[in-house]
Amino acid sequence: MDRRISAGLACILLAGVAGTAWAGAQSFGLDGQPAPQADRADWVAQARGLEQRRDWPALLALGQAWARAEANNPLAWFVQGRAWSALGRPAEAIAAYERNLQLAPDDVQARNNFGNVLRDSGRPREAMRAYRAAVEIDPDYIPAWHNLGLTFYLTRGQAGVARAIEQLRAIDPALAGVWHRLAVDYSLTRDPRVAGDAVRLLRGLDEVARARLFGVLLEGR
């Protein structure tokens, strides 16, 4: 393994990136219709402020109250998942994110955070599947790519990353290029332009090639 790979892998040992879902959020009431704008904005503003202050007990209480008011609002469950995770209660966080994703399957922030809790609970393969689902919904969602690379490294180590690059290169050099850019170059530079280059390469791959990429990363084949 060359020095650049080694340095990149050292840099990848960062805390998992947690997504937040406040920007452009839309909430729904018990009847499935959008909640009044004033109420929605108030819930979101309170949640944002509590998260910024890292007041996790208060954030949890807010999420629970929100769920009582709007049980079918995915953001109410997202808030609880975020709070339970920060409070070190992974089982409760997993349950909250599962409910969030039942209501909003395309919520990439929730899938990313769900993956983080799974990884931190000793379930790395399930975590990588959650990240995969996030990036297949939105290939531009860089936090999930970062967490996929981090979890892969934590599971397989430097030798595993190097072996995956070689396996991918044998299948298609473009696949190796995507993974090197995401798992090594981006971790080294933290430059979103580098990740953007990788995502553009990924978008150029057909469905079969993407399946091969994830087959190597998730299944070792």
CA-CA distance, 43 to 142, in Å (whole number)? 27
Domain boundaries, the chain: 3-13+142-219, 37-137
- The residue ranking higher by pLDDT, 145 or 39, is 145
Instruction: Please write down the long-range contacts of 190-198, taking CB distance under 8 Å and 24 or more positions apart.
Output: 190/11, 192/142, 195/142, 195/145, 195/146, 196/140, 198/145
CATH no. for 37-137:
1.25.40.10
Dist. CA 208–CA 148, nearest whole Å? 20
Each residue's pLDDT tens digit, 35-64 = 444 477 788 889 999 999 999 999 999 999
pLDDT at 71: 92
Residue 146: its pLDDT value, please?
Answer: 83
Confidence category of residue 22, pLDDT binned at 50, 70, 90: low
Residues 72-128 pLDDT 10s: 999 999 999 999 999 999 999 999 999 999 999 999 999 999 999 999 999 999 999
Tokens of 170: 């044998």
pLDDT at position 208 is: 84
Structure tokens at 59: 């954030």
Checking if the pLDDT of 34 tops 60, the result is no
Query: Is residue 98 within 8 Å of residue 114, measured between CB atoms?
Result: yes
Radius of gyration of the chain (CA): 18
Helices assigned H by DSSP within 104-141: 108-120, 124-137
State the amino acid at position 192 in one-letter form: P
The CA distance from 36 to 41, in Å, is: 9
Q: How far apart are CA 47 and CA 39, in angstroms?
A: 12
Cα–Cα distance list, 114 to 20, 95, 107, 128 (Å) = 12, 9, 11, 10
Helix and strand numbers, DSSP H then E, in the chain: 12, 0
Higher pLDDT pick, 218 / 39? 218
What angle in degrees, to the nearest 10, is found between the helix axes of 173-180 and 207-214? Answer: 60
Written as one string, the DSSP assignment of 32-87 is: SSBPPHHHHHHHHHHHHHHHHHT-HHHHHHHHHHHHHH-TT-HHHHHHHHHHHHHT
- CB neighbour list of residue 141: distance below 8 Å, 6 or more residues apart: 19, 108, 109, 112, 134, 135
pLDDT at 21: 64
